[in-house]
């Protein structure tokens, strides 16, 4: 049995104008303790399911958490929106500050323009793996499928009052970061850690949580974290993507045990295909 967990990010909007509002702290205070977490901007919140043994549990927990956020947002005088980007444009006075936490403040100092245009929301699917070596091997096998997930899961066509003419503007915005897109192929767990250490040593990447690959090893849980999909409007589609991510990792683990060759898709080709997706 391969367990799974899901994180979802939501946008907080003014109920009349539809523009983002800095109500994250208020929404979190009005929700049950520990149910809703902070995100980069004060117009965003995040939820996470517990570890789930099946997709029925994923569906039940996401439905519960969406109700919790909706109720807390209404009580805070705003609305929670399940969208990958900010659809409506606000004025100069509508800029939303970053969440008042040390890592977010540091990011704002490093990249102020990028940060304030980073009002994007995704869903992250954690799939259990039996160890770091198996996890890295699974990453190598899952990576060619990430553009497919991007295309299927696109839910951010509008940004700041305009049609971006991309299906997933969130994916384009993520491409501004130094470490983003599909991960490279790694020789193994030691190679993964060596290359992560080199990125951190460069001084450009402040922490492991800034490794914004579309799939990566989690540092909090024994999982592969698939991060390629925009947050989904419909609950059923969110559950479907949790199942697809689990299936991809499960297939990769089976192929690894069987000794099947790792697909060797060049990084530049995968990046180009990801753009097309």
Condensed to tens digits (0 to 9), the pLDDT of residues 59-70 reads 999 999 999 999
Rounded to an integer, what distance in angstroms lies between the CA atom of residue 27 and that of residue 36? 8
How many whole angstroms separate alpha carbon 277 and alpha carbon 258?
Answer: 30
How many Å apart are CA 8 and CA 84, to the nearest integer? 10
Find residue 124's DSSP bridge partners: 7
Q: Residue 275 is encoded by which pair of tokens?
A: 């753009």
CB 46 within 8 A of CB 132: no
Structure tokens, 48? 């996470």
Q: Which helix (H) or strand (E) holds 24?
A: helix 24-30
Give the three-state DSSP class for 240: helix
Q: Any idea what the CATH number is for the domain that residue 171 is in?
A: 3.30.590.20
Number of structural domains in the chain: 1
DSSP state of 234: S
User: What pLDDT does 114 receive?
Assistant: 83
Q: Which residue has the tokens 């305009």?
A: 162
Terminal CA-CA length for the chain: 31
> Using an 8 Å Cβ cutoff, are 25 and 42 in contact?
yes
39-69 residues labelled b (16+ CB within 10 A) or e (exposed): bbbbbbbbbbbeebeeeebbbebbeebbebb
Q: What are the φ/ψ torsions at residue 58 (nearest 5 degrees)? A: -60, -45
* Partners of 79 in beta bridges: 13
The reply to whether the predicted model has a pTM over 0.85 is yes
Q: Which domain holds residue 52?
A: 4-276
Residues 6+ apart with CB under 8 A from 272: none
The label of the residue with tokens 């460069």 reads 202
Q: How many CB atoms lie within 10 A of CB 79?
A: 18
- Please return the burial class of 237, using the count of CB atoms within 10 Å of its CB with bins 0-12, 13-18 and 19+: middle
Those residues of the chain that have pLDDT short of 50 are none
Q: How far apart are CA 231 and CA 153, in angstroms?
A: 8
pLDDT of 93 reads 64
Q: Which two tokens stand for residue 261?
A: 């060759």
């Amino acid at each position: 049995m391969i367990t799974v967990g899901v994180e979802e990010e939501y946008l907080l909007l003014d109920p009349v104008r539809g523009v983002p509002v800095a109500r994250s702290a208020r929404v979190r205070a009005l929700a049950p303790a520990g149910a809703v977490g902070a995100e980069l901007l004060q117009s965003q919140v995040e939820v996470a399911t517990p570890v789930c043994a099946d997709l029925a549990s994923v569906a039940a927990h996401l439905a519960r958490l969406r109700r919790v956020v909706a109720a807390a947002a209404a009580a805070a005088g705003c609305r929670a929106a399940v969208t990958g980007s900010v659809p409506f444009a606000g004025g100069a006075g509508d800029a939303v500050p970053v969440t008042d936490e040390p890592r977010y403040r540091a990011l704002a100092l490093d990249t102020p323009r990028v940060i304030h245009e980073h009002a994007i929301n995704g869903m992250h699917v954690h799939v259990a793996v039996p160890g770091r070596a198996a996890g890295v091997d699974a990453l190598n096998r899952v990576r060619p499928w990430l553009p497919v997930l991007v295309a299927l899961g696109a839910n951010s066509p509008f940004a700041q009052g305009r049609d971006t003419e991309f299906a997933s503007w969130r994916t384009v915005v993520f491409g501004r970061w130094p470490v983003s897109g599909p991960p490279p192929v790694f020789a193994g767990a030691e190679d993964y850690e060596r290359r992560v250490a080199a990125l951190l040593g460069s001084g450009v990447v402040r922490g492991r949580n800034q490794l914004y690959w579309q799939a990566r090893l989690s540092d909090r849980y024994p999982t592969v974290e698939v991060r390629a999909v925009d947050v989904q409007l419909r609950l059923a589609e969110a559950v479907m993507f949790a199942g697809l991510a689990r299936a991809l990792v499960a297939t990769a683990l089976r192929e690894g045990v069987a000794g099947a060759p790792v697909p060797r898709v060049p990084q530049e080709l995968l990046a180009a295909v990801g753009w097309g997706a």
